[in-house]
Amino acid sequence: MSLGKIRAKIDRIDFEILDRLNERLELVLRTRRLKPEVRDTEREKDIFSRLKSRAAGSSVLRGDFVETLWSRIIQESRRLQARPLELIGFQGEHGAFGEAAARCFNPNLVTIPCLQFSDVFEGVESGQLDFGIVPVENSLAGPVTMVNEMLVEAPLKVVGAVRHRVSHCLLALPGTKFDDVKSVYSHPQALSQCRDFLARHDLEGLPYYDTAGAAKMLASERPKRGAVIADRPCARLYNLAVIEAGIEDHPLNITRFLVVARQKREEAGSKHSIIFSTPHRAGSLFAVLKLFADSNINLTRIESFPCRSAPRSYAFFLDFQASLERRELGQILDKVKEVTAMFKYLGSYNEEVSQ
């Protein structure tokens, strides 16, 4: 192995160490509310003992070096846990569109990646996360039914929303030429949103669980003649090159995200969201909509989706915009409750638009 190849491998390992260290610190932050004190001396002793035992099998790692290194890591972990940081969970890896939307909602929050949408909801419900951000609809693909169903069942409030423009890039390993690429990995929705581009260049689309996750995989596994469709920040995060930008088939590709929390925010917004189902009789949906029309309230979204808890029944996700006094809003919603079979007020909030 040449010096250049050895150094390139060392560089990749350095990035992997940084990524894993970042992941460790994120997990440490999630433990804050699961233990009475920031410092757990017995846990620290156990860590040192296990690591030094593991290092004993190495001919180059010394036990005192391992203890010094991990002492600094644990010190930084305690420092982070002591700070009043707020965490927001998103589905996917760092660099995902959900993370970009989270930064638009509040750039001061610590973004925490979650594998599944259910992990976002569970993290908020358990108190490990202060907020979660989830996509509810896309201008091209329509509603995200799975998330809407979770909003029905989760005991959470909507405290914010973000409309995020989605722009896809073709990313590859540094030095890759466009003609070298044959296979493109990405989330199925991203592949479908770039279908014309892929067909035009005779590229094979291979589904992956997340756009940013595909970028992370490309950087670590380095598949031959591979590329990914992901957001531009993934190029910087995973040391990839932008082969081509703006490859989506339709430029007006907007995903709307909702921010959820356990408690509603004190400052109310002009946007409101409710979920309801109606009795199985003619005119029941009309009766609900008429209440809003009679109150001169503008509806900005209405979607239907199947109820998992009631086969052959549908629930409706409704957004409306109104700057009302709390008493006046309560009176209208009380009337809605009277004509619905199931009703849930998700919350009032403001909606941001990412640039």
What SS3 class is residue 88? strand
Residue 255 annotated among the catalytic residues of the structure: yes
Catalytic annotation, pick one of 255, 278, 305, 340: 255
d(CA 241, CA 198): 18
Tokens of 138: 């896309």
For residue 325, how many C-alpha atoms fall within 13 Å in the half-sphere facing its CB?
Answer: 3
Closest CA to 183 of 175, 191, 295: 191
Ramachandran angles phi, psi of 305, nearest 5°:
-155, 150
Q: Dig out the tokens for 208 from the structure.
A: 């992956």
Strand (E) or helix (H) holding 237 = helix 233-237
Active site annotation includes 257 = yes
Give me the catalytic one of 105, 121, 131, 257: 257
Q: Which two tokens stand for residue 25?
A: 């610190």
168, 233 Cβ separation under 8 angstroms: no
- The set of residues, in sequence order, having a beta carbon less than 8 Å from that of 329 and lying 6+ positions away, is 272, 322, 348
Residues linked to residue 259 through DSSP beta bridges, in sequence order = 133, 160
Query: How far is CA 129 from each of CA 39, 93, 104, 283, rounded to the nearest angstrom?
Result: 20, 16, 18, 42
Catalytic residues, by residue number, are 255, 257
